[in-house]
Amino acid sequence: MEVITAAGITWRLVRTWPGGRDRERAIKNRHEAPRLCPECSAPPRPVRTGRAGPLAIPTHYIVAVVAQQPQLSPYERGLRMGEQFIAERAGWTVGQLAACYEYVTGPFRDKPHHTAAEQDWFRGYTEPITHRIAQIRAGEISRRPRSDGERDDPAAGGT
């Protein structure tokens, strides 16, 4: 993280696990960071097995951590993730945004059945992205150069 920060890349901490360097290495060796992240996946996967499995955590620590984190509805989590998706892709064209959105949401859309919570999350995730794409398209239409047949100047050959 020191190298990333030195390179000027912004980041924020969204999840931690208790334990030392051995546990950190075991979790990294799983090669499934996006599936463990609450920001990258609707319901993040728990780390339950092997060396990366849970350690004994004092109950008072768990209660303190839970009390500090507000519980968001699936829709609100999706909304935050959709807003993050847009923020990370500032300056992208409509085609780039749409293609990335299709790629990211493809596995979700391919799954035949979803729980109500998953559907709420997806609705929250989709709304800001599709709204932003529509905004950009509306701006592109108003900035698009007109063709020769669309001139407003009547002296330019119109009647």
Sequence ranges of the domains in the chain: 2-68, 74-143
Question: Cβ distance 33 to 70 under 8 Å?
Answer: no
pLDDT attached to residue 10? 81
Residues 98-123: tens digit of each pLDDT: 999 999 889 888 988 889 999 999 99
Percentage of the chain beyond pLDDT 90 is 19
- Dmax (CA) of the chain: 84
Question: CB neighbours (10 Å) of residue 71?
Answer: 7
Nearest by Cα to 101 from 85, 117, 124, 88 = 85
- Which residue from 121, 126, 139, 128 is spatially nearest to 87, judged by alpha carbons? 128
Overall average pLDDT of the 35-63 stretch: 62
pLDDT given for residue 122 in this prediction: 93
Average pLDDT over every residue of 78-103: 90
Question: Which pair of structure tokens corresponds to residue 111?
Answer: 């799954």
The total number of residues shown for the chain amounts to 159
Average per-residue pLDDT for the chain: 76
